[in-house]
Structure 1
Amino acid sequence: MVAKGRAAGGLCPDCGRFSDRVHDRYQRRLKDLPLAEQGFVIRLTVRRFICGAADCQRRTFAEPFSGLAAPHARFTKRLNRALERVGLALAGRAG
Structure 2
Amino acid sequence: MNILLRGTLLGIVAFGLAACASKSPGPLEGTWRMTDPFPLTVSFRRGELEAMGAVKRVSYKRYWSDVLVTYEEGVNKGASFRYTVIDADTIRSDSGTFRRVR
**TM-score, scaled relative to structure 2:** 0.29
| Structure with a larger share of its residues in helix | 2
Higher RCO, 1 vs 2 (CA within 8 Å, ≥6 residues apart): 1
More strand by share: 2
Give the number of the structure whose alpha-carbon radius of gyration is greater. Answer: 1
Q: TM-score, normalised by structure 1?
A: 0.31
